[in-house]
Structure 1
Amino acid sequence: MSWDLKKFSELDINYLYEILKLRVEVFVVEQNCPYPELDNYDQHALHLSYKENNEIIAYCRIIPGGHKYEECSIGRVIVKEHARGRGLARILMLEAIEKAERTWNVPSIRICAQSHLQKFYYSVGFHTISNEFEEDGIPHVYMMRSTN
């Protein structure tokens, strides 16, 4: 299993288009949630993806601390619909955590998780640090993972 990690400046136009298309397919269309997908964090992020048959089927972005939050964060966590149920989300998150720790030696990682996914994120070491709140019409919570 080979994961691809790229800075924004290393993304060619076709790769960037594929990432943005996947994010819109899942977060805007599948979840029926219109929101501003282009949020000016991509330029600071590392983009982690996994391809099969020349198609990105798992993706997330890792944002260094001081940009979105004080802490490093992982977001836009996606497994393409036809590839779900194979454990790719867990592998993706563990890869992202390892990349953040190795790249920036971070003491903690923050995520903004859809509330119904808390159990999943607990399973990879995150704990809830906020009350539930609504973001773009979907219940969310903040979660944190200490890397030490």
Structure 2
Amino acid sequence: MLSISVKTFEDLTTLQLYNLLQLRSEVFVVEQDCVYQDIDGKDQKSLHVLGYKNEKLVAYTRIFKAGDYFNEASIGRVVVVENERQYQYGYDIMNASIDAIKTKFNTTKILLSAQVYLKRFYNNLLFFELGEEYLEDGIPHIKMLRV
């Protein structure tokens, strides 16, 4: 079971910020072998959803209110430590993110830019494909919407 918290950028401790940036880099840059600019100036606008297991950050997303990234509220940087994926923590962190958007932003309409290989995972969370596939940082993506 994850212990999940939602924090503004200003409320993150230095250690929490370090850990979330380290996790994002570990998965998106190293594991996926993708060179891209992760520190993109958007963290300050987002809420950070942090999932801890035994005081170690193992799952994370960042969420945006409508207009701060897309026209709709959105979820991005969805990540779970590789050796913890077997426990379905992706669903826990996503459900917490969806709930946070409902509570904090008063909407159920959520857009995300999904890596194509994860379509079924997002379908299980009631996100559905919107438009055509496209490349983002050299990786096939598709926009997905939950209403």
**TM-score in terms of structure 2 length:** 0.96
Partner of 2:61: 60
Counterpart CA distance in 2 for 1:63 and 1:123 is 21
Tell me the CA shift for residue 145 of structure 1: 0.3
Counterpart CA distance in 2 for 1:95 and 1:50 is 9
3-state SS of the aligned residue for 1:44?
Answer: coil
Partner of 1:17: 18
The 8 Å contact of residues 76 and 112 in structure 2, kept in 1 or not, is answered as yes
Structure 2: gaps spanning 5 or more residues: none
The 8 Å contact of residues 101 and 108 in structure 2, kept in 1 or not, is answered as no
Within 5 Å, which residues of 2 pair with 1:69-80?
Answer: 69-80=70-81
Partner of 1:122: 123
Amino acid at match of 1:89: G
Counterpart CA distance in 1 for 2:103 and 2:97 is 10
The 8 Å contact of residues 113 and 142 in structure 1, kept in 2 or not, is answered as yes
Counterpart CA distance in 2 for 1:2 and 1:84 is 16
Query: Paired residues, what number?
Result: 146
Counterpart CA distance in 1 for 2:23 and 2:108 is 30
Partner of 1:90: 91
Structure 1: gaps spanning 5 or more residues: none
The 8 Å contact of residues 128 and 141 in structure 1, kept in 2 or not, is answered as yes
Tell me the CA shift for residue 142 of structure 1: 0.2
**TM-score in terms of structure 1 length:** 0.95
CA RMSD, Structure 1 to Structure 2 (Å): 0.9
Counterpart CA distance in 1 for 2:83 and 2:140 is 25
